[in-house]
Amino acid sequence: MRTLSFLTLALAPLSLVTAQGTDAVKASARAVIGTLTSPAFHGRGYVENGDGLAAEWIAQQYTRIGLKPVKSDFYEPFQFNVNSFPDSLHVAIDGVRMVPGIDFIVDPASGKASGRYTLVHLEPDDLFDPERRAMTMGVLTGQAACLHFPKTTNADTLHKYAEIERDLMHYCPVVRPSHGKLTWGASQEAMPFPLIEIANAALTDSSVAIDLRIQNKLIGRHEARNVLGHVKGKGKKWIVIGAHYDHLGHMGPDAMFPGANDNASGVAMLLSLAEHFAKNKPKMNILFVAFAGEEAGLAGSDWFIVDRPIDLGKIRLMLNLDIMGTGDEGITVVNATARQAEYDALVKINDDKKYVPQVKSRGPACNSDHCPFVKRGVPAIFVYTMGGITAYHDVLDKAETLPLTEFSDLQALFRDFISTLK
């Protein structure tokens, strides 16, 4: 957030140039995000080769910008197992059809189920009391378990719920109302039966039956690629700028998860910084890494640490960019408490230049691609934006509604920050 003062007004010609520059940064980010979230990329997941197409598009951008490959080409291939839902999903409660992604999601580890199932309504005691549990399990065969657990935000209780759900998925389809908004994910494994999370009031304790046609496809050794390109600076040290380009793909043909904020916005920031440093030679070498497989459990960054395309000991800092699309409430720096000097530098630049409303410090968290680096002792931080829209891991995380409130200011903050690293 750049505040206008009498000084910037006095320097009108200069601020005009700056305004044009920042508009151009935001406009090209819009173009990148619009492209990566378009149906042609299928949500950059595991149906219709969505993630593979995104990798190729990003490599084309590297070529256009003038980045150089580290290996023989821009790709760093690897494999992982992942569950997918290429076929259409049918869910109806007492004959009322539910819309995929809006009225329901299937748990990412869901298996298959087909036919009409009678709903067996269960309270926590039916499953947590050992004697009643034995009786409950006896009546579930051939039916669907409908869980009526009290709403909670307590992490331990939610964990207990998740464990019992996972256990039930060995025996029968499981249905439950959502604990909050519908938030999808990815899974490297598949259970025998599905878990269906229902969003609205369609599911009550007097619901009788559910019709299901759910078909999963567990992809063994899915081929994925990180996309690596670099700009040479001086010396032997590296700055690694990372952003994952994969997202959740499709939950059946009708529900696409576009992943505009998560993380087409981060890829847009990575490409924007790459364009800048390709034209303005940096002090240190910079490696740009568009990671694959993040949503399936940090598979791409895990592989980078194993494969070591560059000497990990020479990495001055890994900067992970994920969720760059808002910023109304500033940014959070994960692992700031372990990288105090880098955090302080970011705060100082921001205090001087008034780029974003707040640079918030957060401790270590294994919630994105910086984590495998941190575990290996490589200095790393993760920056995400705060405020604005709340769409996340759902069908509403769209390019059209992503505000990019602080995108240009954030790009300038990163540029300044990278230039100060020694």
Q: Which of 246, 302, 322, 394 binds Zn ion (CB under 5 A)?
A: 322
Give least dist CB 231 to Zn ion, A: 24
Tell me the site size for Zn ion, rule CB under 5 A: 3
Which residues inside 13-52 make contact with Zn ion, applying CB under 5 A? none
Q: Left, alpha or beta for 211 (phi > 0: left; psi -120 to 50: alpha)?
A: beta
Minimum CB distance to Zn ion smaller for 173 or for 249: 249
Q: How far apart are the first and last CA of the chain?
A: 27
Report how far residue 185's alpha carbon sits from residue 142's, in angstroms, rounded to the nearest whole number. 27
Report how far residue 109's alpha carbon sits from residue 85's, in angstroms, rounded to the nearest whole number. 10
Which residues inside 96-135 make contact with Zn ion, applying CB under 5 A? none
Q: Both tokens of residue 133? A: 């549990």
Report how far residue 216's alpha carbon sits from residue 88's, in angstroms, rounded to the nearest whole number. 10
Closest CA to 298 of 177, 380, 217: 380
Give least dist CB 11 to Zn ion, A: 38
Q: Left, alpha or beta for 132 (phi > 0: left; psi -120 to 50: alpha)?
A: alpha
Give least dist CB 318 to Zn ion, A: 15
Query: What's the DSSP call for residue 416?
Result: H
Minimum CB distance to Zn ion smaller for 76 or for 262: 262
Query: What's the DSSP call for residue 100?
Result: B
Give least dist CB 321 to Zn ion, A: 10
Minimum CB distance to Zn ion smaller for 339 or for 393: 393
Give least dist CB 117 to Zn ion, A: 35
Which residues inside 261-300 make contact with Zn ion, applying CB under 5 A? 262-263
Minimum CB distance to Zn ion smaller for 84 or for 320: 320
Q: Are 295 and 45 in contact (CB under 8 A)?
A: yes
Minimum CB distance to Zn ion smaller for 58 or for 89: 58
Q: Which stretch binds Zn ion (CB under 5 A): 111-119, 187-195, 321-329, 353-361?
A: 321-329
Give least dist CB 29 to Zn ion, A: 16
Minimum CB distance to Zn ion smaller for 176 or for 225: 225
Give least dist CB 250 to Zn ion, A: 17
Q: What contacts 103, CB < 8 A, 6 or more positions away?
A: 91, 198, 199, 200, 202
Minimum CB distance to Zn ion smaller for 136 or for 326: 326
Closest CA to 143 of 175, 173, 107, 106: 173
Q: Are 277 and 325 in contact (CB under 8 A)?
A: no
Q: Which stretch binds Zn ion (CB under 5 A): 44-52, 101-109, 258-266, 413-421?
A: 258-266
Catalog residues that contact Zn ion under the rule CB under 5 A: 262-263, 322
